[in-house]
């Protein structure tokens, strides 16, 4: 449908590696984000498999130095959160959002590139700990006083490198959030009012607000920790008037909204995919938007539910707010289920992953609701129950959402379809592997197994479940093989995708796969949040005329 009217030479004066290193095109930057995030996903996954290998049986098997174990789980958590899931979702947003709003690029393309390149650098800083005597080992939550203790916090410079890496990554996040907000509010195609934006754009909007408002608080916490560790500061040192709880408060003020940063865009992706593969519009568009905004807002008032057991938390307030947040989340569940209800379902891989998201996130939400009850949390804090909860929402939720997005948008990004059979094999393996790994952790938590331990007694009944979890973990690892094989094969010889292989609803499918450098030649009329659907059914016209070249574009100084 879209034939590019730009001269072919327009984008080819830079080519190959130089093009990729210097690009400011949101599509290439999006792909860079996705590839970088997958690399760190695999690194974080290897760290997880090391943990699971050690825990498969009681007794220390190969991590004879427990400080190494601490480094491994610390880096696993840090890498998965900051180098995988948040940038992965930002990367998808980068690619898809300007297309979905009919914009030629992001508002600040060079800052976009800067935001990306800070990430590999941040990742290198994080991992540099391993070669400078020891990586950070105080947990991704880095509580004081452990975080300040040399050598316990990390045998070498790892903890300081961790702080520096995260500061850099946080800055990337803030700049990205600003970029998204300006793009969304200023660069929508004419006719696309706020309430005609695709749901993915809305979820990225709320996520970006969270990124801009919450991440700087983490930066301040990290800086305070750095000052304590290196300049004789006393922020978190009770003996000199500081407070270890202060760290927890400031840290979680960011890190709780962070979990919504990690899940809202995935929810947005699901909300794009479910309607397409049910041939029905999303049920309750406006309700969904208000629920998303509600989650974003409430997400700022629940941080201390991570600190119930400190004895210094206003318990009823945080418990109430935490239960409240289940309400808009439940609304969204109903939106998704009623979208599927009586729809004409096509059980393609994106839909399978979306269904996986729905079911696994539901379990994660339910076990989270248990933890919101203060007495229950008093018993389950710092046990494997919490590990189960966080992985059900982050892996069963966000990661499944990411894979749904990969299978859905890969054709748009590359012009090739991914192989459905391999996709379904991957889904089966990862779904089974995931549940095998993390469901037993509910039981382990209830049985009292603490988190972050390298070893456990052989006579407390935890052996079988741990072994099961390890087998599941390796199954998850194995599921990456059909995935990578699929990507490799499809890039070389996958079926040509065309503009709109899924018969979808949103604007990114109104241009070629992959899109030309400035995305659109002309845009259809925008009358609802499903412009392509409207175009197909005669409710909107294609662009009446070629866009008037008109006055010169806004020149920014």
Partner 1 sequence: MHPMRHPRNAIIVGLVFVVVAAIYWAIPYFGGWHLDYAGVTMLAVLGIAGALMAYVLIAGSPSD
Partner 2 sequence: MTANPHALAATEEHTPVAGLAHDQRGGISNPILGMILFICSEVMFFSGLFAAYFSVRASAPAWPPIVQSDPALTEHFNLHAEPWFALILTVILVVSSFTCQFGVWAIRRGDRAGFIRNIAVTLVLGITFLIGQMYDYATLGFGLSDTMFGTTFYTLTGFHGAHVFGGAIMLSVVLYRGLAGQFSAQHHDAVEATSLYWHFVDVVWIALFSTLYIL
Nearest one of 523, 516, 535, 544 to 192, comparing CA atoms: 523
The answer to whether 212 contacts partner 2 (rule: CB under 8 A) is yes
| Residue 382 Rama label (left phi>0; alpha psi -120 to 50; beta) | left
| C-alpha to C-alpha distances, 376 to 249, 302, 371, 379, 385, nearest whole angstrom | 21, 17, 6, 5, 11
DSSP 3-state of 383: strand
| C-alpha to C-alpha distances, 531 to 5, 76, 184, 265, 466, nearest whole angstrom | 22, 42, 17, 21, 50
Site string for partner 2, 148-177 (x = CB under 8 A): --------------------------x--x
Site string for partner 1, 238-267 (x = CB under 8 A): --------x--xx--x--------------
| Residue 511 Rama label (left phi>0; alpha psi -120 to 50; beta) | beta
Q: Which stretch, 56-64, 79-87, 207-215, 378-386, contacts partner 1 (CB under 8 A)?
A: 207-215
Nearer to partner 1, 194 or 457 (CB): 194
Among 1, 2, 46, 181, binds partner 2 (CB under 8 A): 181
How far is 292 from 354, CA to CA, in rounded Å?
Answer: 18
CB of 214 to partner 1, least distance (A): 9
The answer to whether 107 contacts partner 2 (rule: CB under 8 A) is yes
DSSP 3-state of 418: coil
CB of 240 to partner 2, least distance (A): 6
What's the gap between Cα 346 and its chain centre?
A: 26
Spatial contact of 162 and 78, defined as CB atoms under 8 Å apart: yes
Nearer to partner 1, 96 or 209 (CB): 209
How far is 197 from 530, CA to CA, in rounded Å?
Answer: 9
The answer to whether 249 contacts partner 2 (rule: CB under 8 A) is yes
The answer to whether 532 contacts partner 1 (rule: CB under 8 A) is no
DSSP class of 79: I
CB of 238 to partner 2, least distance (A): 10
Which of the choices partner 2, partner 1, none does residue 59 contact, using the CB cut-off of 5 to 8 A by kind? Answer: none
Residues 466-495 that bind partner 1 (CB under 8 A): none
CB of 176 to partner 2, least distance (A): 11
The answer to whether 463 contacts partner 2 (rule: CB under 8 A) is no
Which of the choices partner 2, partner 1, none does residue 221 contact, using the CB cut-off of 5 to 8 A by kind? Answer: partner 2
- Report the first-to-last Cα separation within the chain, whole angstroms: 36
How far is 395 from 137, CA to CA, in rounded Å?
Answer: 23
CB of 25 to partner 1, least distance (A): 24
The answer to whether 185 contacts partner 2 (rule: CB under 8 A) is yes
158 has which bridge partners?
Answer: 135
| C-alpha to C-alpha distances, 534 to 98, 510, 526, 527, 545, nearest whole angstrom | 20, 12, 8, 8, 18
The answer to whether 551 contacts partner 2 (rule: CB under 8 A) is yes
The answer to whether 243 contacts partner 2 (rule: CB under 8 A) is yes
The answer to whether 297 contacts partner 1 (rule: CB under 8 A) is yes
CB of 479 to partner 2, least distance (A): 38
| C-alpha to C-alpha distances, 91 to 113, 127, 281, 497, nearest whole angstrom | 11, 22, 25, 21
The answer to whether 217 contacts partner 2 (rule: CB under 8 A) is yes
Among 37, 142, 219, 319, binds partner 2 (CB under 8 A): 219
Which residue has tokens 């049920």? 283
Residues 211-240 that bind partner 1 (CB under 8 A): 212-213, 217
The answer to whether 323 contacts partner 1 (rule: CB under 8 A) is no
The answer to whether 207 contacts partner 2 (rule: CB under 8 A) is no
CB of 314 to partner 1, least distance (A): 6
Contact residues for 156 (Cβ-Cβ < 8 A; gap 6+): 129, 132, 133, 134, 135
Nearer to partner 1, 188 or 389 (CB): 188
Which of the choices partner 2, partner 1, none does residue 14 contact, using the CB cut-off of 5 to 8 A by kind? Answer: none
Q: Which stretch, 106-114, 308-316, 470-478, 482-490, contacts partner 1 (CB under 8 A)?
A: 308-316
The answer to whether 61 contacts partner 2 (rule: CB under 8 A) is no
Spatial contact of 297 and 280, defined as CB atoms under 8 Å apart: no
The answer to whether 232 contacts partner 2 (rule: CB under 8 A) is yes
Residues 111-170 that bind partner 1 (CB under 8 A): none
Nearer to partner 2, 224 or 380 (CB): 224
How far is 254 from 167, CA to CA, in rounded Å?
Answer: 13
The answer to whether 235 contacts partner 2 (rule: CB under 8 A) is yes
CB of 210 to partner 2, least distance (A): 11
Spatial contact of 507 and 100, defined as CB atoms under 8 Å apart: yes
Nearest one of 447, 484, 487, 481 to 466, comparing CA atoms: 447
Nearer to partner 1, 327 or 460 (CB): 327
Q: What is the 3-state secondary structure (H, E, C) of 482-514?
A: HHHHHHHHHHHHCCECCCCCCCCCCHHHHCCCC
The answer to whether 303 contacts partner 1 (rule: CB under 8 A) is yes
State the residues that interact with partner 1 by CB under 8 A: 181, 185-186, 190-191, 209, 212-213, 217, 246, 249-250, 253, 297, 300-301, 303-304, 312-314, 317
State the residues that interact with partner 2 by CB under 8 A: 107-108, 111, 174, 177-179, 181-182, 185-186, 212-221, 223-224, 227-228, 231-235, 240-243, 246, 249-250, 253, 550-552, 554-557
């Amino acid at each position: 449908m879209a034939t590019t009217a730009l001269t072919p030479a327009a984008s080819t004066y830079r080519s190959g590696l130089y093009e990729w290193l210097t690009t400011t095109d949101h599509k290439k930057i999006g792909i860079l984000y996705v590839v970088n995030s997958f690399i760190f996903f695999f690194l974080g996954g290897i760290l997880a498999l090391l943990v699971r290998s050690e825990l498969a049986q009681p007794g220390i098997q190969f991590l004879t130095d427990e400080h190494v174990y601490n480094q491994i789980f610390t880096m696993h958590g840090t890498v998965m959160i900051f180098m995988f899931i948040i940038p992965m979702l930002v990367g998808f947003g980068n690619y898809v959002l300007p297309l979905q709003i009919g914009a030629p690029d992001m508002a600040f393309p060079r800052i976009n590139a800067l935001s990306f390149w800070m990430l590999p650098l941040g990742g290198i800083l994080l991992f540099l700990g391993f070669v400078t005597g020891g990586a950070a080992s105080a947990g991704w939550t880095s509580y004081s006083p452990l975080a300040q203790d040399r050598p316990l916090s990390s045998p070498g410079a790892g903890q300081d490198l961790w702080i520096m890496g995260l500061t850099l990554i946080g800055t990337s996040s803030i700049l990205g959030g600003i970029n998204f907000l300006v793009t969304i509010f200023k660069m929508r195609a004419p006719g696309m009012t706020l309430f005609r934006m695709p749901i993915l754009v809305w979820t990225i909007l709320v996520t970006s607000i969270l990124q801009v408002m919450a991440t700087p608080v983490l930066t301040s916490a990290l800086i305070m920790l750095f000052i304590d560790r290196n300049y004789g500061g006393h922020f978190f040192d009770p003996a000199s008037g500081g407070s270890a709880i202060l760290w927890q408060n400031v840290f979680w003020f960011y890190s709780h909204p962070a979990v919504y940063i990690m899940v809202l865009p995935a929810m947005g992706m699901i909300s794009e995919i479910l309607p397409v593969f049910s041939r029905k519009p999303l049920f309750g568009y406006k309700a969904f938007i208000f629920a998303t905004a509600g989650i974003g807002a409430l997400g700022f008032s629940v941080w201390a539910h991570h600190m119930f057991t400190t004895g210094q938390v206003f318990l009823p307030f945080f418990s109430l707010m935490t239960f409240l947040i289940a309400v808009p989340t439940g609304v969204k569940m109903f939106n998704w289920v009623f979208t599927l209800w009586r729809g004409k379902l096509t059980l393609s891989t994106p839909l399978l992953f979306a269904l996986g998201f729905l079911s696994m996130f539901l379990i994660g939400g339910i076990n989270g609701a248990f933890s919101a009850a203060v007495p229950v949390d008093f018993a389950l804090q710092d046990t494997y129950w919490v590990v189960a909860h966080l992985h059900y929402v982050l892996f069963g939720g966000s990661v499944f959402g990411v894979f749904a997005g990969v299978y859905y948008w890969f054709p748009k990004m590359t012009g090739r379809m991914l192989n459905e059979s391999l996709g379904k094999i991957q889904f089966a393996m990862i779904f089974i592997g995931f549940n095998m790994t993390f469901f037993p952790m509910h039981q382990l938590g209830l049985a009292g197994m603490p988190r972050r331990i390298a070893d456990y007694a052989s006579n407390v009944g935890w052996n079988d479940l741990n072994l099961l979890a390890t087998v599941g973990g390796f199954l998850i690892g194995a599921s990456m093989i059909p995935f990578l094989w699929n990507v490799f094969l499809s890039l070389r010889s996958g079926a040509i995708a065309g503009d709109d292989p899924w018969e979808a609803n949103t604007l990114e499918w109104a241009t070629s796969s992959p899109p030309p450098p400035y995305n659109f030649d002309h845009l259809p009329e925008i009358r609802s949040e499903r412009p392509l659907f409207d175009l197909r059914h005669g409710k909107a016209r294609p662009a009446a005329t070629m866009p008037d070249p008109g006055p010169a574009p806004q020149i920014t100084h």
